A = this chain, B = another copy of it.
Amino acid sequence: MQAMAHESPTFSPLYRQIKSLILQSLEGGEWRPGEVIPSETELAGRFGVSQGTVRKAVDELAAENLLLRRQGKGTYVASHNDPRAFFRFLRLEALKGDIGLSTSVPLECWRAKAGMEAARVLGLKLADPIVIVRRLLEFSGKPVVVDEIYLPGDVFGSLTLEMLKNWQGSLYSLFESEFGVRMVRAEERLRAVAADRSSAELLGVKEGSPLLSVERVSFSYGGRAVEWRRGLYSTAEHCYVNELS
């Protein structure tokens, strides 16, 4: 294993090549979410590099939340089943007091054909099969978010309302456990919109009152878009928090 020296244009340091190899093993499912990956010394042996080089590769993957290091135990593949990462993608906070218990209430789940927008975002062809889910998110028993979720049919074809209703845990932990799809990264676009009739009813607000529209595209390993969702947040008693640095 060698770094490409003396070849500036395509130069890539050794540890990044190692990082790619580890990523390939993650994508390929050699190590599954929640499992331990081999120790640093073992990986160093396998790849024929020093432990320090493996360490730097793993450091980056851990910084990207793909791996999780635990001193004395080992390095784990990050999982949405891990309570630590449970709400990593939900940036919601109560205006006063604690946010309380959250409940996901599945409303509908049906099959459809991808329109222009869905096809573009999910990297599908027009009219490819997709699955659409509508659900309500409640905090302390009060409805706060209505989500409409678009999923590629080739992967999520067998998803049903029953599965959603019976699942204990986050949506992403269901996707991970039942469909082998792990969300790794997401982009959100936020706007303020006026509540339409049906959303207003579900959220218990007046039609036309301001709602926070959150459009999210989620990516799995390898930058593959595997979810497109639009949430309408009632921000009467909650807000979306973000940290800038």
- The chain A residues found within 8 Å of chain B, CB to CB, are 63-65, 88-89, 91, 93, 184-194, 209-213, 215-216, 233, 235, 239-245
List 24 contacting pairs A-B, 8 Å CB cutoff, sorted by A.
A63-B63, A64-B245, A88-B244, A89-B244, A91-B242, A91-B244, A185-B244, A186-B243, A186-B244, A187-B241, A187-B243, A189-B239, A189-B240, A189-B242, A190-B212, A190-B242, A191-B235, A191-B239, A192-B192, A192-B193, A192-B211, A192-B212, A210-B210, A242-B242
Residue from A64, A189, A209, A243 having most chain B Cβ neighbours under 10 A: A189
By a CB distance below 8 angstroms, the chain B residues around A65 are 245
By a CB distance below 8 angstroms, the chain B residues around A190 are 190, 212, 235, 239-242
By a CB distance below 8 angstroms, the chain B residues around A213 are 192
Contact status A212-B212, CB under 8 Å: yes
Distance of A139 from chain B, by nearest CB (Å): 15
Distance of A206 from chain B, by nearest CB (Å): 11
By a CB distance below 8 angstroms, the chain B residues around A192 are 192-193, 210-213, 233, 235
Distance of A125 from chain B, by nearest CB (Å): 23
Nearest-neighbor residue (CB-CB) of A188 within chain B: B242
In the complex, what distance in Å separates the CA atom of A231 from the CA atom of B193? Answer: 16
In the complex, what distance in Å separates the CA atom of A71 from the CA atom of B74? Answer: 33
Contact status B233-A185, CB under 8 Å: no
Distance of A174 from chain B, by nearest CB (Å): 18
Residue from A185, A194, A212, A216 having most chain B Cβ neighbours under 10 A: A212
Distance of A209 from chain B, by nearest CB (Å): 7
Nearest-neighbor residue (CB-CB) of A185 within chain B: B245
Q: A187-B244, A243-B185, A244-B186 are in contact. Are A194 and B210 (CB under 8 A)?
A: yes
By a CB distance below 8 angstroms, the chain B residues around A189 are 93, 239-242
Nearest-neighbor residue (CB-CB) of A195 within chain B: B210
